[in-house]
Structure 1
Amino acid sequence: MTDRPGSRDALRKRRAAATSHGTPHPGAWWLWSLGLATAATRTTNPLLLALLITVTAYVVATHRTAAPWSRSYAAFARLALAVLLVRLLFAVVLGSPVPGTHTLLTLPELPLPHWAQGIRLGGDVTAEALLFAFYDGLRLATLLICVGAANALANPARLLKSLPGALYETGVAVVVALTFAPNLIADAQRLRAARRLRGRPDRGLRGLLQVGLPVLEGALERSVALAAAMDARGYGRTASVPAALRRTTTVLTLGGLLGVCAGTYGLLTAEGGAYGLPLLLAGVAAALVGLRLGGRRTLRTRYRPDPWGPSAWLVTASGAAVAGLLTLAAARDPSALAPGVIPLTAPTLPLWPAAAILLGLVPALIPTGKEPS
C-alpha cells in the first residue's frame, strides 16, 4: 500500500529525504562558526589562530555552493587582512603600551598638548610592540573570518524559514541586506563580462559609470518586485493579542537579550566567571519564552519546514566542542594559549588544544548534497 501524497507518513519521508540528501541546517553552520569564533577569543597564539583559519577555509571549500552569498568568504578574508594591517599601522604611528628593548626604527615624534597625556605620535617602534599588535590583530581577523565562513555556508533563505514568528519581519530585513551586496557584485561581473565581449571598455571612470547605472537600475527593479511580492503575500499582518501579553513579551525578550549580553561578557572576562553562566542561561530561557509568546502575533505558515537532522547536530557539536575545549585549555594553561612578548620568544604549538581545533573539521566529512528548496 502506497502512502497518500498528503499523509503524515509521506511528509515524514520527504523530510527524511531532504535531511539525508541536503546540506546541514543553516542555523547549524552559524552555531559552528560561532563556536570557532569563541575559541578564537580564548587565545592569541598565532599558530592556533592560523589553524582555526585553515579549518574554516577547508570546510568552506568542501561545502560552499555556487550561490552569490557563497563568495563572501573571500571578501571577509580581505577585510580581516585589512584589519590586521590597520592594527599594525596604529601600533607604529600611535605607539603601544607594551614596553620593549628591541628598537626597529625611530619615527619623528610630534609634540602634543598636556591634555593629551598618554598619547604619542611617532617615536620608537619596538619589536615587542609590533608582535603584541600582530597577535591582537590576528585574533580579530580570525573572528571576522569565522563570521565569513557562516555567511558562505548558510543559505539565508533557508535560515529565514527557520526563524521564530516573532523575528520574521526582522529576519526578512536582515536577509535582504545580506543578499543585496552579493547580488550587486554578481550583476556587476555579468555586465562587465558582457561589455568585454562587445569590445567596450569596462575599466576607468567611464566604464564604472556605464556599468554602475544598469547595476543600480537592476537593484531598484528587484526591490520593487520584492515589495510587490511581499505585499501580495500579506507581509506585515499581525493578529490581535491582549495588551498584557504584549507587555509581557516585550519584558521577557528585552530582559532575556540583556541577560545574554551580560552573561556573555561575564564568560569572556576573568572577573565574571561566577555569574556569567547562570546569567547567560537565564537570559536564553527568558528570550526563548518571549519569542514564543511574540510568535502569536504573526499570521504565517511554513511550507515544508527545514528539518534539523543528524548532520546539523554533528556540525553544531563540532563547533561547541572546539569552543569548550579551548576555554578549558585557556583556564588550565594560559601561557600556552597567550604567549608573551617580553622577552621575545617564538610561540609553540600546544598539542591537545591544536587537536581540539581539528575537531572543527568534522563538518568536512559530511557528504555534500543538493540544497533543499
Structure 2
Amino acid sequence: MRKPADGTGTAPSGPRARRAPGVHAGAWWVWALALGTAATRTTNPLLLGLLLAVSGYVVVTCRPDTPSARSYSAFLRLALAVLVLRLGFAVVLGSPVPGTHVLLTLPEVPLPHWAQGIRLGGRVTAEALVFALYDALKLAALLICVGAANALAAPARLLKSLPGALYEMGVAVVVALTFAPHLVADARRLRAARRLRGRPDRGVRGLLHVGLPVLEGALERSVALAAAMDARGYGRTAEVAPAVRRTTAALTLGGLLGVCAGTYGLLTAEGGTYGLPVLAAGLAAALAGLWLGGRRTPRTRYRPDTWGPRSWLVAGSGVAVAALLSLAAARDPQALHPGVVPLVAPALPLWPAAAVLLGLVPAVAAPAHPPARTPLREPS
C-alpha cells in the first residue's frame, strides 16, 4: 500500500487497481435489438411508448461520454421524421383501411387506368390516420432502439469480439456504422464555431457553409483511416495448409446451406420434423468453418471486453422482453394489436407492460457512473 501525493488516504495497488470490468458491447446490442424485436410484435401505442421510455431512460442512465453516445438525439429526430412522413403519405395517398369518421376531404387528382389502386387526395378518415400512426410508431421504435445500441456501445467495440474469419467484413460494417455519429459530431462542432463568430448556422446559407466542411472532414477521415489500416498491416493473412482451406470452405458453405434448409423447414408445415436438426447441424458446421477460417487472420486484442455477470443481466433482460412480448402476441393478439375499425381506444395489457419494464434492469445493473467509494484513512 502506498500513500498518494495528496495525503487523503491510501491508493489501491495490485489487482485492485485494475480497471473494473464493464458491460460487453455485444450485450448492449443484444439488449437493444431485443427491444426492437419486441417493438415489432405489437402496434399498441401504449406498449410502444413504454418501450421508448424504457430505452430512453437506460440510455440517459448508462451511456458513456463519447461522440457515438451523443448521436442518440439524431436517431430521435430521424424517428420523428419517419413518423411525420408516414402520416403525410396516409393523408396524400390515402389508406386501404376503410373508415367512416371523415376528418377532411382533399381535392382528388384523377389518375390513368394503369394506376388503379392509387389515389391522390380524397377523403382523410380518422381510422386511416390512426392505422398509419400505429404503423409508424412501430418503425420509429425500431430506429430508436438501434440508436440506443449505438449510444450505449460504439460499433467499433464489437470489432474486438468478432471471429478472425469475419474481421475484414466487421471492419467494413463498423466504418459504415460510425460514419453517422462522426458526421453529427462534426456538424455540431462547426455550428458552434459559427455561432461563436456571430455567423448564421441555420437556413440554406448555414447548411451550405456547414455541409461542405463536414463532407471534407469525412473525406479526410476516410483517407487517414485507409493509411492507418495500411500501416497496421490490414488484410495480412497467415499461410495455412491447402487441406485446411478446403475444409474451411466446405464447412462454411455447407453450414450456410444447412441453415437455409433448416430455416425453410421450420417455416413450412412439411419440414417440421427435419427443420430443427438440419438448422442445428448447419449452425455447428458454420461455426466450425469460422473457427478454422480465423487461423488465417492472426491478430491480438488489447484489453478485450469480458462477458461477465452484468453483461448476462443486460442481455438477458432484453431477450426476456422480446420473448414475453412474442408470447403475448401469440396468446392475446387483440391486446397487442388494437383494432382501428371500429375506432376504439387502446388498452394497456398488464403483464406485457410488466414484461417491458424488465428492460430497465441495465439502469440498475450497469450505471454509467457507479458511486465512488470513500477513501481509506491511514491510522494516525
Q: For the superposition of Structure 1 and Structure 2, which TM-score range results when normalised by the shorter chain?
A: 0.7 to 0.9
Q: Is the deviation greater in 37-46 or in 51-60?
A: 37-46
Shift of 1:248: 1.4
Residue 333 (str. 1) matches residue 335 (str. 2): no
Give yes or no for contact 1:106–1:123 (8 Å, CA) kept in 2: yes
Counterpart for residue 5 of structure 2: none
State whether structure 2 residue 346 is matched by structure 1 residue 344.
no
Please say if 1:248 is aligned against 2:247: no
Q: Point out the more displaced range, 311-320 or 124-133.
A: 124-133
Query: Partner amino acid for 1:82?
Result: A
Unaligned runs of 5+ in 2: 1-13, 371-380
Measured at CA, do residues 208 and 336 of structure 1 come closer, stay the same or move farther in structure 2, by a change above 3 Å?
Answer: closer
Distance 1:271 1:50 in 2: 36
1:178 and 2:180 are equivalent in the alignment: no
Who is 1:365 aligned against?
364
DSSP-derived class of the 1:28 partner: helix
What's the counterpart of residue 293 of structure 2? 294
Please give the alpha-carbon distance, in whole angstroms, between the structure 1 residues aligned to 2:178 and 2:274: 35
For the residues of structure 2 that align with 1:333 and 1:127, how far apart are their CA atoms?
25
Q: Select between 274-283 and 149-158 the one with higher mean Cα deviation.
A: 274-283
Report the counterpart of residue 132 of structure 1 in structure 2. Answer: 131
Percent identical among aligned pairs is 72
The 3 A distance-change label for structure 1 pair 252 and 64 is farther
* CA shift for structure 1 position 189: 2.7
Q: CA deviation at 1:122?
A: 1.8
What is the CA distance between 1:316 and its match in structure 2?
0.7
Post-superposition offset of 1:253: 5.8
- CA change 1:349–1:199 in 2 (3 A) is closer
Distance 1:126 1:200 in 2: 45
- Partner deviation per Cα, 1:253-294 (whole Å, 9 max, x = no partner): 643664697689x4xxx9899689837655544443332232
The answer (yes or no) to whether the contact 1:26–1:158 under 8 Å persists in 2 is: yes
Query: Which structure has the larger Rg?
Result: 2
2:97 is equivalent to residue 95 of structure 1: no
- Residues of 1 paired with 2:270 and 2:213: CA distance? 53
**Per-residue Cα deviation, 1:208-244 (whole angstroms, up to 9, x for no partner):** 5554454444434333332222122211011244242
**Alignment gaps of 5+ in structure 1:** 1-11
Q: Compare the two structures and name the one with the higher helix fraction.
A: 1
Of the structure 1 ranges 247-256 and 134-143, higher mean CA displacement relative to structure 2 is found in 247-256
Counterpart position of 1:52: 51
1:59-98 residue pairs with structure 2 within 5 A?
59-98=58-97
The residue matched to 1:124 in structure 2 has which SS?
strand
For 2:265 and 2:39, the matched residues in 1 are separated by 18
CA distance in 2, matches of 1:286, 1:303: 29
For 1:277 and 1:357, locate their aligned partners in 2 and report how far apart those are by CA, in whole Å.
Answer: 31
C-alpha distance in 1, partners of 2:69/2:347? Answer: 34
- SS of residue in 2 equivalent to 1:68: coil
Partner of residue 9, structure 2: none
Paired with 1:327 and 1:24, the residues of 2 have a C-alpha distance of 26
TM-score after normalising by structure 1: 0.84
Paired residue type of 1:92 = V
Report the TM-score, using the length of structure 2 for normalisation.
0.83
Pair 107,286 (structure 1): closer, same or farther in 2 beyond 3 Å = farther
**How far did 1:318 drift?**
0.2
Between the aligned partners of 2:63 and 2:32, the Cα distance in structure 1 is 14
- How has the CA–CA distance of structure 1 residues 116 and 223 changed in structure 2, closer, same or farther, with 3 Å as cutoff? closer
